[in-house]
Every structure is written in structure tokens, then in C-alpha cells.
Structure 1
């Protein structure tokens, strides 16, 4: 059996401005992740995840290549790989609204699958140059 693990740079936490400091508390942050002015708590971030400015991620699992836009709030969610969460999105705070767009488990965990898109024409995002 052959396996391959991509080589990523270490995780990066940027912006030293008040209210915009990239932080991760009680979380696992994998290589290649960029916490660009966002806040991550009690979560697991797989390789190559980007959390943009003013975004809060709490008690969630984000799989590889997820890009979370600015001003998002995510709580008790599982986000599948290659998903782009648009700016200003709220997930995990209103169960009824979440049921209309995503899958919500009996225990209240919101699951966002790969086929998720709020856009009619999804946009490809370069995780390392978009702000």
C-alpha cells in the first residue's frame, strides 16, 4: 500500500491588530492552515484550511481545503473538504435555518457537504491570496 502526504508549511496566525488577531484555543490546527484574523476554539482544522478576518469557529471540524470567508460564525458544524463558506455566513446558530440549507443531526450538529453552494455559479478561490 502506497500513501502520500502533501507537504505544507506550518500553520500561520496573522494580524496583530486588536479584535483581528488570528487565534486558536483548545484546537488542533494542521499544517498549511492560515488563521487570518479569525478565532478558532475547541475545533479541528485539517490541512490547508483558511479562516479569514472577523470569523469565529467554535466546536467544529473543518476538513481539507476549506475556505471560510470574513465575518462568518460557525458553531457545532462539520464542513466537508473543498467547501468555500461565503462572507457573512452563519452556521450552527439557528437549527431551522440550517435544516433548509444543510443536514442537521439529531444532536444538533450541522453537516455541510461538498455540494454546498450559496452561489448559482460557484467561484474558485485561491486560498493563499484571497483576503
Structure 2
């Protein structure tokens, strides 16, 4: 029988472990997003400000990588200095700003990720 209450999903804390292959891979991906080439491509696509957009992309990628909500990633970033250092994030945008940003450029983001970020990663870090 269905009860009329919400079950809260428990998320694991995002504690970096640079020996864990999942964290190693995420570190490489976030490094690609921070690269000069990717920033230049973002600017060419009209995505600005580039540094803020890069921070938003990083947060979205972390959320996707660990299958958690963007708001949870933001909460973890606010609590964990080590996670902020790992992601190389100084400023943490609000979730509503990230969702607004993504809704505006959803088509551009798809094209950008598949044609630039992933290809740049293959060129920048082939192995």
C-alpha cells in the first residue's frame, strides 16, 4: 500500500579519494574543462562569462558522475574545502543559476560537449 509521505534519498558524502579510479577519472575530466582550449571554445560559442560557465559545467559533471542532484553537489562543495580544491572552484554558483544557465543553452551545451570537450580531452590527454 502506498503511503502519503516522501522518502528522502540518502546521498553518500562526496569525499575525494585520489587513489580511487573514479575520482582519478573525474579529476582528469575536470582538468579538461579548466583547460585553455575549452575556455576558448566556450568563448567562441558565445558562452560567457567563461569562468562562471566553467564552474557550472564542473558542478553539473560532478552531479552526473555521482548520480546526485546539482543542489547536493553545491551543498557538499560549501561544506568540503577539499572538494572545492579538487574541483578548483573558488566561487560556487547557486543551483537556480545553474538550472537557468542550462535551460538557456541546452542545445549549445550538447553540441559543445560532444564536439569540443570530449574531442579536446582526446587531444589533450590521449592516454
> Which structure ranks higher in relative contact order (CA pairs < 8 Å, sequence separation ≥ 6)?
2
Same fold, TM exceeding 0.5? no
**Shorter-normalised TM range:** under 0.3
User: Whose Rg is larger?
Assistant: 2
More strand by share: 1
TM-score by length of 1: 0.25
More helix by share: 2
TM-score by length of 2: 0.26
